[in-house]
Structure 1
């Protein structure tokens, strides 16, 4: 596996960075200490510019190569998850209720490793824009950075990112053309009735039968309203109501998620949910309100850039899968791919617990592989003439 020798020599240092970040997780946009650590490393490496405070705690750092040329963006996310860690590792989270259960500590480390090498060699033309973003898990920090103008401000013409993939062989790269991750929407349904004593249900307007009917009807949307070849998931994930066995509650709450790839399908699902909620409420003589929130759009790779990314990955690894493959997970790198062509790459990290689990930990052995991929992207996209 042809990892760049110089980057392989950073392995111990990169492991130390990653484990420091793992032990000190931060959530959402509040990645202050993480951003400070990243900025300190970047300045030590000798990047040409460090721009902080974008999307509150995001960073864009610039490295200039040999001669004029375009700018290529490389992105890593920095935020953790609100989970109590159960790894038992020496470098486990020192903050109760927060842990890096998605590997963003590893993503940040891979981009730092690439940054160090690129600062030393500068074997490219134009500029590299290193994007360290907060709030991927919740808040859409990538979208906020785009809204705050990073693509135009730094002249970024194409953009790339890596996400680790536990359960796949370490060092395996996976990407494909077109949509690779789904758009994610959330629905909230508030059912309102009239509560009372359970011995006298005729004096109430019980929200529970209506709630049950709404959930049952939601489960008919995909098989009866969506074309069978359109990939979509509609899942009810929460139902809350009631407080005691002898009380008819006055309200109920339904929550769920919708995953899809086509905005027309999103429109279909939202319209059908509105009809179901209004219709069932009318049938039971109570009221119900739907709030439908569209969050991250689908993550869509540019076809040419994804082909290029796969070619670059073959420079680094003999394990590369390039094919159309859609997953129902979501990513706010989607906003950057809406703004500029590029590709999202998955990197296998071996067997072990999956993402968002309390016993998950990033595999430090794959960090030099990811860093080498980032470097090769730059050197092949913007070669020195």
Structure 2
């Protein structure tokens, strides 16, 4: 069996945990009930060193091995999304307008499964830091943990994380060394013109026309201002203006997202956006202000730790079911803040033929949990071996 036999033996228990968490989703940093459930399980496992209230509702628990050694961090995110669930499952969300549409209930369960096994066996030396993090979706969780000095406080030398992936068969893993997920920035453009009657546009300074032109010009940043083989996404995702069909409004707003792996590319985008906004505003006789907000940095896997994690995944997965040179993703992940400070690796684990992430009919496949728990457990045992094990 690819998964650890002991973990397979309590797979049904893991399903119970996961479905309870799915029924009780919480958002952002306010994951107190989720954290309390996690702490209750950890205490049942006999784990005594548990630190609560990190990054508001985060939890770090320490499992001591047999003998001295470094500390390895294993991370799971706990927060849900502001989406109304449509799965119709018996374990569907009980919290209206909130659901685990990204599988963080499964991630938390996988780390709990590893915790149960490692607390029983302690077949390692050194320490394992179990990191249960809030606010991955809305941002701030990992960054706040880093700012609070969590990595230094627990002397974490390496850190690892998993994320489920719909469309990839259960039991498969994939990752890549170096950048695996993009940085994510947000831009906002506020435009002020002169409003008036829709029948007399010559008496106005139309902010909608300016907004459309700015949006079209921003699309040329990707096609005309950067090298085609450097990954870059610039997406205008919002344009808001107007109240009636016969009124030219006074103001307009547009906003969107920028994804890249390269800091120089990001700097170019910021420069070109500022030039485009200023130039287009002048050409239409309106005022426009660009606000550019830098978000998560790129998630960059350390080559040595990625190679190690791939080797561990190959122990857990079926033969030939681990991809070690996957195409990097344009999505973003705040685990990046941990990897900026501490070497480690981020991997994806298959969630089978389910709905996509962030969709109202998504559900974590409980068959995935034993694979993820076994991966985390073997990371601990392989990174901190006893004797010649």
Q: TM-score, normalised by structure 1?
A: 0.99
Counterpart contact for 1:72–1:129, Cα < 8 Å:
yes
The question of 1:361 aligning with 2:363 is answered yes
| Conserved 8 A contact 1:189-1:290 | yes
| Aligned-pair Cα RMSD in Å | 0.8
CA contact (8 A) 2:45 2:119 kept: yes
Per-residue deviation, 1:355: 0.4
Q: What is the aligned partner in structure 2 of residue 20 from structure 1?
A: 20
**CA deviation digits over 1:234-273, x for unaligned, max 9?**
0000111111111110000101100000011110001100
Are 2:340 and 1:338 aligned? yes
Deviations 1:22-51 (A, max 9, x none): 000000001010000001111111113100
CA contact (8 A) 1:28 1:80 kept: yes
Per the alignment, residue 99 of structure 1 pairs with 99
Unaligned runs of 5+ in 1: none
Give the Cα separation in 2 of the matches to 1:327 and 1:294.
18
SS of the residue corresponding to residue 353 of structure 1 reads coil
Matched, 1:381 2:346: no
> For 2:155 and 2:37, how far apart are their aligned partners in 1?
26
Hey, what does 1:265 align to over in structure 2? Answer: 265
Structure 2 residues without counterparts, runs of 5 or longer: none
For residues 294 and 251 of structure 1, the distance between their equivalents in structure 2, rounded to whole angstroms, comes to 25
Q: 2:324 aligns with which of 319, 322, 325?
A: 322
Alignment match, 2:353: 351
Q: Alpha-carbon deviations, 1:285-333, whole Å to 9, x = none?
A: 1100010001000000000100000000111112111115211010000
In 1, the alpha carbon distance for the partners of 2:23 and 2:143 equals 27
Indicate conservation of the 8 Å contact 1:75/1:131, yes or no.
Answer: yes
What SS does the corresponding residue of 1:292 show, helix, strand or coil? Answer: strand
**TM-score after normalising by structure 2:** 0.98
Matches within 5 A, 1:56-75: 56-75=56-75
CA apart distance, 1:2: 1.7
Judge conservation of contact 2:174–2:326 (CA < 8 Å) in 1: no
Matched position secondary structure for 1:220? helix
* Deviation sequence 1:38-70 (CA, Å, 0-9, x none): 011111111131000000000100000000000
Distance, in Å, in 1 between the alignment partners of 2:340 and 2:378 is 23
Q: Which runs of 4+ in 1 moved over 3 A?
A: none
Aligned length: 385
Distance in 1 of aligned mates of 2:275 and 2:32 = 44
1:371 aligns with 2:373: yes
Partner of 1:157: 157
Deviation of 1:168 (Å) = 0.7
In structure 2, what is the Cα distance between the partners aligned to 1:360 and 1:222? 32
User: In 2, distance between residues paired with 1:138 and 1:177?
Assistant: 26
Q: 1:310 corresponds to which residue? A: 310
